[in-house]
């Protein structure tokens, strides 16, 4: 086990969102993912175009429920339902405590590969599907498309790989510099990278576009991009 920063330890090729991670997750992810808070703000603004009084909203990989709480605070209609799904019980416990005051918000502990989604108007996956094994990822995309009502939206935020090795080297170098500037030590950066081997499997932008198209989406485009961190809006 090695320290990866923010009082979190992780083994080689064994990163997990369980254990002690839920208690430190919010601070850790803000320091680790560029434009993390700005991405939340963008999702809130986009949600205005897709939610009505009786809409259903899903947050896949909800973690501590922070984004879902922001969405609920922005949309006050009593008939709205907000459902957060996460595989880690510790995350769900933190999310339930954070969102306890709003009865419209509920949480379910489940694997992304076992999703049973009701009809919905907005589905958000905020840096989550990159952790689903590639062999099963298309099935998750398919279930998301099937769940959405016509005109509904899927917001997919992912870390992406470059299609050319030269660009990948540049992107990796810039991101390493970013983490060092956030106060992580070289040892912590290396330990985090080692812990994510075989756990975090990003696709390229085109790879994500292809999966959206295979699921049935015809209308989609990138709405946010910073180096290897990207947000895509897909409309059914």
Instruction: Name the average pLDDT for the chain.
Output: 90
Q: In whole angstroms, give the CA distance from residue 173 to residue 137.
A: 28
**Superfamily classification of domain 33-161+202-235:** Vaccinia Virus protein VP39 (3.40.50.150)
pLDDT for 13 beyond 80: no
pLDDT tens readout for residues 18-35? 565 556 677 778 888 999
> What tokens does 195 get?
């812990």
More confident residue, 11 or 144: 144
pLDDT tens readout for residues 98-126? 999 999 999 999 998 888 899 999 999 99
Q: Comparing C-alpha atoms, which of 91, 95, 94, 90 is closest to residue 82?
A: 95
pLDDT tens readout for residues 36-64? 999 999 999 999 999 999 999 999 999 99
In the three-class reduction of DSSP (H, G, I as helix; E, B as strand; rest coil), residue 42 is classed as helix
Q: In whole angstroms, give the CA distance from residue 108 to residue 92.
A: 7
> What tokens does 39 get?
């991405």
The residue assigned the tokens 């081997």 is 197
Residue 85 near residue 107 (C-beta atoms within 8 A): yes
Q: In whole angstroms, give the CA distance from residue 117 to residue 143.
A: 7
């Amino acid at each position: 086990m090695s320290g990866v920063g923010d009082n979190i330890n992780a083994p080689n090729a064994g990163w997990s969102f369980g254990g002690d991670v839920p208690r430190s997750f919010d601070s850790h992810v803000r320091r680790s993912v560029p434009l993390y808070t700005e991405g939340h703000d963008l999702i809130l603004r986009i949600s205005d175009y897709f939610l009505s009084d009786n809409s259903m909203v899903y947050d896949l990989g909800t973690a501590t429920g922070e984004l879902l709480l922001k969405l609920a605070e922005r949309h006050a209609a009593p008939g709205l339902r907000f459902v957060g799904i996460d595989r880690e019980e510790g995350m769900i416990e933190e999310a339930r405590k954070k969102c306890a005051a709003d009865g419209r918000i509920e949480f379910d502990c489940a694997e992304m590969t076992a999703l049973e989604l009701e009809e919905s108007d907005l589905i958000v996956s905020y840096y989550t599907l990159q952790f689903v094994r590639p062999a099963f990822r298309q099935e998750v995309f398919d279930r998301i498309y099937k769940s959405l009502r016509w005109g509904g939206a899927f917001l997919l935020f992912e870390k992406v790989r470059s299609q050319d090795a030269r660009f990948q080297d540049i992107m990796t170098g810039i991101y390493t510099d970013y983490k060092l500037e956030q106060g992580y030590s070289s040892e912590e950066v290396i330990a985090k990278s080692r812990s994510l081997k075989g756990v975090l499997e990003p696709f390229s932008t085109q790879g994500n576009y292809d999966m959206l198209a295979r699921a049935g989406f015809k209308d989609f485009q990138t709405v946010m991009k910073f180096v290897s961190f990207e947000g895509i809006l897909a409309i059914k």
